[in-house]
Amino acid sequence: KGGVTNTPVVHRWAMLRAAVGEDARLVADDREVRRGGVSYTVETLEDFRREFPSDWLCLLVGADTAVDFPCWRDYDRIRELAAVRVLTRAGREMPPEVAPAEVVRVPDVPVSATAVRRRVGRGEAIDQMVPPPVAEYIHRHGLYRAVDEGAGC
């Protein structure tokens, strides 16, 4: 899809750890990184179900991702393993193909991964768009400097 970069997993994993930081409420789980190669959501949810057999599992996906949900590997099994919730910004309607997942509305925040990559590519600050440790990591490693301005939405 437009705007998607091929940022190596080592960087994506490091940025996730930086974003989670010291927040005791959050855990950066590396099972998909350790699995290597292509990783499917259904495999990860099956791992969680084995590890937490009696817990309620919720899969929270963005509205842009949810549109393709029926094309995901074993999407019916995913719905058996976890409650699927679609995160959408206020004032935006969900396409009918996403139903019957429950929608979780959040305030409209003008931040997207594409916007972050574009700003970095133009040499603009992203400090207000991502947590400071993530901005620092992106700058230190020179990520997203060459971004195609025509890519994305």
Task: Report the alpha-carbon distance of residue 70 to residue 86 in Å, rounded.
Answer: 13
pTM of the model: 0.73
Q: What does each C-alpha distance from 32 to 10, 35, 69, 96, 118 come to in angstroms?
A: 12, 5, 19, 30, 27
Give yes or no for a contact between 145 and 128, defined as CB atoms under 8 angstroms apart: no
**Separation CA 7–CA 18 (nearest Å):** 16
pLDDT digits (tens), the chain, 153 positions: 334 457 888 999 999 999 999 899 989 999 999 998 888 999 999 999 999 999 999 998 887 778 888 899 999 999 999 998 888 766 666 666 665 567 776 666 677 888 899 999 999 999 989 999 999 999 999 999 875 544 443
